[in-house]
Structure 1
Amino acid sequence: MKEEDRDNIVLFPNVERRLVEKGIEALQNKQLSEAISLLEQGYALDPDNGDVMAALVLAYFEGGALTRAKELCKEMLLAGQGDYFQIVEMYITILIQLHEYKEITEVLEALLDEREVPAEKREHFMTILQFSQRLADNEPVPEMTEQDSEPARQETGIQPEELDLLKITDLNEQVALAGKLANQNIRPFVNRIGEYLKSAEGHPFMKTMLLNILREQEMLNEMNVVKFGLMENFIPAELPAPHSQPLENEVGRRLATELEHQDPFLLESTLSLLGRHEFAVYPFKLEPDDPAAWAAAFEYTAQVYLGNEPSVGELAGRYSTNLDAVSKAAGWIEKVEEISYPII
C-alpha cells in the first residue's frame, strides 16, 4: 500500500469501542489470543483510554504474558490512568507472580515516600515492602530468641491464637501476612502453621511462603505437607529455596531452545506458567521424571490458554518424548492451575 493511500484511510465511527467490546467479550469467554489481538488494536487506536489499558493488562495476565502485563500496568501508573492505588495493587500482584521483589521494593518505597497513602493501606504496603526487601536481597531472617517474640507480636498485632490462615485468600494479603510472620520468631506459630500445611483447604501459594519462612528460620521440626492430593513429611531447614528462575532448570532450557526464535510470545507465556507451577507445587516433585515431557506439556497448556488447539501427539514428537508422559504432565499442570491460579 502506498504511503498516501495509507494516509487516506478513514476509520468507521467508534471502531475502537467495538474492538474493545469484542475484546472484552472474548476475554470473558477465555478466548485469550483473540482478546489480546482485539484489545491491542483498540489500544493502538485509543492509547489514552484507561479502560482499554486495564482490559489489555488483564488479558495479558490471564494469557500468561506477565512481562507485557507488567509493562502496560507500569505505563498506566506513569500516565495516571485509573485509580492509582488500585493500579498499584494490580502491578504488585503481577510482580509477585514474576517474583520481582526488587521492583516491588522500588515501587513501594517511592509510593510511601512521595504520596499520601491512606492509613488503611499504609500498613499493608509497608508489610509487603519489608517482606520483598528481604527476598530481593536474599537475606535470611535474623534468628530470634523466645524473649524477642513478645515485642514482635505486639508490633505486628498477631497473636498465635488469633492466626486463622484459612481466612486469607487474596494474594496481596497472603504476602502481607507472610511478611509479618517472617519478621518475628516463627516458633510460637508452628502449631498453627502445621495445621494449615496439612489441611486440604490451605492454598498452595501460601503454603510455599510459610515453608520458606520456616526454612529461613532453620526450623528442624518435621512438617506434614498436603498439596494436590499428595502428602509428605519435610524438614524445612533441609529444603532448597523456592524462588528458582524457569530458565535455570532443564524444562525451561528446553522450552527456550524450542521457542526462543520460533515464537517469543509463546515462550514468555510458557515460562510464566512454568514459574508459577513450580512455586505452587514446592516442595513436591511431580511425575513423570522427564523434562522433555514437562516442556511439551507446558507448551501445550500455554497454547490452550491462548485459544489454540495444539496436538499432544505432535508436541510429544517435537520434544522427542512419550505421548503418555506428556498427557500425564499436562494433567498435573491443569490440576495445579485450577486449584492454585483460577482465572479471574
Structure 2
Amino acid sequence: MNEEQKNNKEKVVLFPGVVEKLVTKGMDALKGKNFSDAHSYFDQSLQIEPDHPQARFGLALSLIEQSRLEEAKEITEKMLKEDIGNYFDILQVHISLLVQLGQYNEVVVMLEGIMEEEKLPANLAESLYHLLHFSRQMVDGETKIEMDDEAKKPPNELLHMLNYGSPDKQWLAIQMLGKMPTHVFVDSIKEFLLNDENDPVLKSIILQLLKEKNVEEQMEVHKFGKKYKVNILNLEDVFHEKFGKNTLELVANKLESQNPSLYEAASQVWWHYLFALYPISPEPLNPSIWAAALHKTAVQLFGLEDDVLEIASEYNVDFDEMLSCADTIIKIEQEAFKS
C-alpha cells in the first residue's frame, strides 16, 4: 500500500451509528442463541471501536455461550482493570467465570479485597457474599470435593442458591453443580424441577445438561401447571426439532425475502418459546397454525398494522386458532423471560 492509498484509507468515514447497529445485531443474535453470529458482530464492532463497553461485554457473553470461558475471563478481567463498562455488572460475570473455571482462590482474594474497600450495591451484595462463602468452602475442602464419593453432597450454600435464589443466582448454581459428579448433580436438581414456581427456562437448561451427561433415569418435571416424567435419554435437542424447523420454513416462505427483520424476530421468538416449553410439544402439532401465530406475533412486536385475518388466510388456518396460539406464545415469552 503506497502513501496515497494509506492516506485515503485513513480518510474513510464510516456511516453514522454503524457500531451501534452491529452491537444491536450482536445482542439480538445472543437473544436468539445464534452465538457464532453474535461473536462475529461484536468482533466487527471492536475492530472499529476497540473500547466500546457493550461490544466488549457482548463478546465475553458470546464466548461464554460457546464454552470458551478462559477467553471470556480475559476480556472481563481487562475491562475491570481498565474500568470499561458497568463495573459491578462485569464483576458479577467475571466472578461467575472464575467459579465455573474452579479458580476459587482468585474469587476469595478478589471479593475480600473489594468488600474491604467499597460498599456493594444492594442488588449484588447477597449474591457475591454467597459466592465468597461458597468459594471459601471450596478452597478449604477442595480435595474432598473432587472425590467421587457416593455419599457426598454439595455445600448447603449452593443448594440454597439453587432453590431459593433469584433466577441469576439459580443459573449460576446450576452451572456450578453441573461441574460436579453426575450423581451429585442429579440429586441436587430434583427438587428444583418439581417446583412449578421455578423458571421454566432454567428447567430446560437442566434437562439439556442431564442429556449431555447421558443420565439414564427418568426425571419428574413440573412446568406450566403440568407434572410429567421425562426419559432423559429419549430427549431430542430442542434446537433440532423437525417440527420447529418445519414451522419456520413456512414463515420463511412468507417473510424471509419480503421482510427479513420480521422473519428474524419470528425466528427468535419461536426458539425462545420452544426452549421455554421444552420438552413439551406445542399443541396442536400443526406447523401452519404456529407459523401463522408467529407471523402475527412478530407483526405485533414490531408495532405493525398487518391484517390479521389476511395472515390467517395466507397460511390457510382457522383465525381463532391462530389467535389462541399467538396469545400462548406471548404469555409464555413474558413468563419465561421476565427475569
TM category, shorter:
0.5 to 0.7
Q: Percent identity?
A: 23
Q: 1:124 aligns with which of 96, 114, 125?
A: 96
Counterparts of 1:323 and 1:266, CA distance in 2: 20
Q: Which residue of 2 aligns with 1:208?
A: 204
- Counterpart check, 1:169 vs 2:167: yes
User: Which 5+ residue runs of structure 2 have no aligned equivalent?
Assistant: 1-13, 81-90, 103-142
- Counterpart check, 1:222 vs 2:218: yes
Q: Could you tell me how far 1:275 is from its partner in structure 2? A: 1.3
Counterparts of 2:269 and 2:155, CA distance in 1: 36
Q: Could you tell me how far 1:264 is from its partner in structure 2? A: 1.2
Counterparts of 1:213 and 1:88, CA distance in 2: 28
Counterparts of 1:115 and 1:231, CA distance in 2: 40
Q: Cα RMSD (Å) of the superposition?
A: 4.1
Counterparts of 1:62 and 1:301, CA distance in 2: 20
Counterparts of 1:247 and 1:66, CA distance in 2: 19
Q: 1:194 aligns with which of 186, 190, 193?
A: 190
Q: Which residue of 1 aligns with 2:137?
A: none
- Report how many residues are paired: 268
For the structure 1 residues 290 and 127, does the alpha-carbon distance in structure 2 shift closer, same or farther, using more than 3 Å as the test?
farther
For the structure 1 residues 323 and 187, does the alpha-carbon distance in structure 2 shift closer, same or farther, using more than 3 Å as the test?
same
Which 10-residue stretch deviates more, 286-295 or 186-195? 186-195
Counterparts of 1:63 and 1:207, CA distance in 2: 18
Q: Secondary structure at the match of 1:209?
A: helix
- 1:44-77 per-residue CA deviation (whole Å, 9 max, x = no partner) reads 54557xxx66995699589979799766544444
Q: Could you tell me how far 1:230 is from its partner in structure 2? A: 2.7
Q: 1:318 aligns with which of 314, 327, 330?
A: 314
Tell me, yes or no, if the aligned pair for 2:211 and 2:235 is still in contact at 8 Å: yes
User: Which 5+ residue runs of structure 1 have no aligned equivalent?
Assistant: 1-42, 131-147
Q: Could you tell me how far 1:151 is from its partner in structure 2? A: 0.6
| 2:146 counterpart letter in structure 1 | P
Q: Which residue of 2 aligns with 1:80?
A: 50
- Counterpart check, 1:278 vs 2:274: yes
Q: 1:298 aligns with which of 265, 280, 294?
A: 294
For the structure 1 residues 240 and 266, does the alpha-carbon distance in structure 2 shift closer, same or farther, using more than 3 Å as the test?
same
Q: Which residue of 1 aligns with 2:327?
A: 331
Counterparts of 2:336 and 2:97, CA distance in 1: 23
Which 10-residue stretch deviates more, 192-201 or 66-75? 66-75
- Counterpart check, 1:233 vs 2:229: yes
Counterparts of 1:114 and 1:90, CA distance in 2: 10
Tell me, yes or no, if the aligned pair for 1:293 and 1:329 is still in contact at 8 Å: yes
- Counterpart check, 1:151 vs 2:142: no
Counterparts of 2:27 and 2:75, CA distance in 1: 30
Counterparts of 2:284 and 2:42, CA distance in 1: 37
Which 10-residue stretch deviates more, 60-69 or 313-322? 60-69
Q: Secondary structure at the match of 1:214?
A: helix
Counterparts of 2:27 and 2:303, CA distance in 1: 12
TM-score normalized by structure 2?
A: 0.64
Tell me, yes or no, if the aligned pair for 1:66 and 1:269 is still in contact at 8 Å: no
Q: Which residue of 1 aligns with 2:133?
A: none
Question: Relative contact order, CA 8 A, sep 6+: which one is greater?
Answer: 1
TM-score normalized by structure 1?
A: 0.63
- Counterpart check, 1:287 vs 2:283: yes
